[in-house]
Amino acid sequence: MATGSGAAAAAADAEEKESGSRMITLTSNEGKAFVVTEASARQSATIRSMVDDGGCVDKGFPLPNVDSKTLARVIQYCDEHGNKEAHTVDERAALAKFDKDFIAELDADKAFLYDVTMAANYLHIQGLFALTTQCIADTIKGKTPEEIRTAFGIEYDLTAQDEEEIKEEDTHA
């Protein structure tokens, strides 16, 4: 029994060592295949758990909720964060600069920004999700409720009672 589990642990260990160099295929909803390193794919908690559960690595991962354009952009982020080291101050600064440029580019195209946010949410990529949601939150910051409604295409549906409450809050503001 003891030797059995020992052998299994050794095998898992060997697999662990090998995993750094493995390649993983991600397929968009349009059927386009993207080959990425495992380190890059592990940025996604969703894929990480599927890889760790074993099995389907060879077959690749179909992502029915993500289109090719979005997936390409998401992979760009994952490659940068998964394949590069972030130990020294310089390396971290380089990553921070990458994030800044990455989000600035996304910010220019709001619809695409939402797509990437949705994909980051679906794939559970914590860093990317924090980056994009913060970017959206920043656009809300300086806006009036009316401007927010216009920007996000939201319909006004507040009741008279809600309005009363909001007025009350305003007098305290």
Partner 1 sequence: MTPAALHGHLHWLQHPKHMVAFDMVAKTFKQMMPPPVTTKFFANLLAMDKFLMASEFMDLGMDLWVMEGYGAMDERWELQHRIVLPWQLSATHKRPLLVKGGDDSDVIMGTTYGLGVYNAKSKTFRVVITVKPPDALLLSRNMLRESLSARRNHVDDIGGDLVYEILIRLPAKPLLRSGAVCKAWRRITTDPAFLSDHSRRRPLEAVLYSSKINLDDPINGRRRRRKLGFHRHRPPLLPRRRYAYFDEEDEYCVPLASCDGLLLLRKNAGDYAVCNPATRRWAQLPPPTRAAARDVWCTRESVFYFHPPSGEYRLLCHCTGTRRSYPNTTASYYVLAAGGLRRRRLGVQATPINSPAVPRDMSCTKLMAPAALHGRLHWLLHPESGLAGDVVAFDTVAETFTRMAPPPVTRKASADLLATDGCLMASEFTASSSVDLWVLDGYHGGGGAMVDERWCWQLRHRVVMPWEATISVPRLVAGGDDGDVILAVDGGGLGVYNVRSETVVGVEGLPWFVHRESLG
Work out how close the CB of 61 gets to partner 1 at its nearest, in angstroms, rounded to a whole number.
18
| DSSP state at residue 27 | E
Q: Which stretch binds partner 1 (CB under 8 A): 31-39, 88-96, 103-111, 123-131?
A: 123-131
Q: Which stretch binds partner 1 (CB under 8 A): 8-16, 18-26, 61-69, 156-164?
A: 156-164
Work out how close the CB of 100 gets to partner 1 at its nearest, in angstroms, rounded to a whole number.
17
Give the span between the Cα atoms of 144 and 125, in whole angstroms.
Answer: 31
Helix axes 89-107, 110-123, angle to 10 degrees: 130
Helix (H, G, I), strand (E, B) or coil at 99: helix
Helix axes 89-107, 68-83, angle to 10 degrees: 170
Told to check if 155 binds partner 1 by CB under 8 A, we report yes
Which spans of this chain sit near partner 1 (rule: CB under 8 A)?
45, 117-118, 121, 124, 126, 129-130, 133-134, 136-137, 140-145, 148-149, 154-159, 162, 166, 169, 171-173
